[in-house]
Structure 1
Amino acid sequence: MRSAGGFSLIELLVAVAIALTVLGAASFVLTHQLGYGQRLLSETRLHAQAGTLLERMTRDLRRTGYREHEQASADFDLRLPATDCVLYSYDRYADGVASANERFGFKWQRVDGVGVLRMRKSGAGLTDCAEGSWETLSDPASIEVTSLEFVALDQACYDAASAARRPCPQHAGAGERLLVRRELEVRLRAQDRARTLPPVALAARVALPVAPLLPE
């Protein structure tokens, strides 16, 4: 008699073993891809947060020294009291007078054990980074600003009449009309709070507005 067709028990066990192996491999690949995708999303979010902070600083710093007319207050200027702090001012109200809420700044500070980026909303002058009204820009729950640095780069002075470049004195002399052009580099490093992602290091150059060099 002809034996009935079908699979033996051993063949069924082998088929099940192969299927389980394939299923396990597929599950591993899927889990790995999901984990990689989540990590990539977290890295992108960290870069975006750090980039937003850097862009906020550079956008406002580009207004430094703006004055409605040449004889405006000499207080419309920029100072670097520390490597991780910049104080600056501009003629927001176009009245030629530097008031407290026209003096701004950015600085790195450790708050409750977490490094943050802070912005000054008002202040009495441009020399003391501890003075004034400050607010925190970064979100300490998700990102830690590990370092912040402001570096003065090129400074050039030009004669307003001839446009000839010349050395920059501390103040314009009597009868001199000099224009000063300056550049600043902002360097920011950040890390996610869990410290599971690679740190982010960003930098940007800021060309400050050309401004008259005022007499003493």
Structure 2
Amino acid sequence: MGSAGVLTALGVIAAFASVIVVDPLFGTIRTEWEPFGELLQNYIVQPGFGLIAACYIWRRDDYNPLDRIQTPSVEGIAWIGLIPIGYEMAVRVVTPLLPILGLNHGAHDGTATWQVLLQHPEIIVPGLVIMFGVMAPMEEILYRGVVHDALEPAIGSPGRVVIGGLLFGVMHLFLSGGIVSMLLTSIFGVLAASAYERSKNLTVPIMAHAGHWLVFTAI
């Protein structure tokens, strides 16, 4: 279990490094192609996740999470829809309770990603490729394919789901909004980990994660 914590910490460190390295590049793209650059600015930490996942894969001879990117089953397709919808429903249930704990979940300002794509049809194809084919895979390969795998020798299936989901939330504690972000994204992490544990197919959390970005995330 300690190795999963170390991998999560390395992911956070690499994400901060990614901001330093990638942000100027995305800023240049934004200058030349503003709508696409605006979209990319939402995904400046994922290249860091991809780097840690790639290093893990390179060091392991007996396991490659890329082998678990497969065509989803009917159950997997159901999970792809359930994860983002279930997460948003959970957020709506939890948010009114946060003031009791002295916490507040601010509203997401901006236009939903799918609306931005419709407003700028020229970025639909590159935008979908970036979300579904690059950034979501980088994040899910690390936190489901790598961190989840690191938990397998130490704890059983329910423990992997809970601890893996919490580690996903801990990552967000440092990268995107403190305690509230950690609490809420842990819910997403548990849902994604449940789907991965059931399916052993990384396509399921990848598609669900990118789908959530597309439908619910504001730019």
TM bin, normalised by shorter chain, reads: under 0.3
* TM-score in terms of structure 2 length: 0.27
- Structure number with bigger Rg: 1
* TM-score in terms of structure 1 length: 0.27
Higher relative contact order (CA 8 A, sep 6+): 2
Q: Decide which structure has greater strand share.
A: 1
